[in-house]
Amino acid sequence: MAYPLREQGNCVTVVLDGEVDLAASPAAREAILEAVSRGRHVIVDLSTVEYMDSSGVACLVEGYQVARKKGRRLVLAGAGQAVMNVLALARLDRVFPLFPDTAAAARDCGA
């Protein structure tokens, strides 16, 4: 499974969906790292993610760290209860910049 990227100016959006578990996280990781290599601003759209485990969270963390090293910005948009639960359990709910939806996240990166 491949996750689509949407590019607009220097802002790249990764759209994750469904269940981001051990089976899906390698593709999620690839998509996020690709986005980070392309854009100054990366938005991870989580609005259609129904489930995420720690391997999914690890992808977000890795993307966030790589972006930070490159002086880029990675933000999360549209995280639902399932995603917020696992982020909170991993004590990461205050690490990522969170936006209610991709439109709000896009405004943040000045798109």
- Using rule CB under 8 A, residue 43 touches another protein: no
Binding residue for another protein (CB under 8 A) from 51, 66, 104, 108? 51
C-alpha to C-alpha distance for 3 and 69, rounded to whole angstroms: 23
- CB of 62: closest distance to another protein in angstroms? 7
Q: How far apart are CA 61 and CA 57, in angstroms?
A: 6
The separation between CA 15 and the C-alpha centre of its own chain, rounded to angstroms, equals 8
Minimum CB separation from another protein for residue 20, in Å?
11
22 binds another protein (CB under 8 A): yes
Backbone angles phi, psi at 34, to 5 degrees: -60, -45
73-99 per-residue burial string, b: 16 or more CB within 10 A, e: under 16: bbbbbbbeeebeebbeeeeebeebebb
Alpha-carbon gap, residue 94 to 98, rounded angstroms: 8
Residue 57 lies near another protein (rule: CB under 8 A) = yes
Q: Is 17 in the site for another protein (CB under 8 A)?
A: no
Question: Which is nearer to another protein, 47 or 80 (by Cβ)?
Answer: 80
Binding to another protein, residues 63-102 (CB under 8 A): 64-65, 81-82, 85-86, 89-92, 95
Nearer to another protein, 10 or 51 (CB): 51
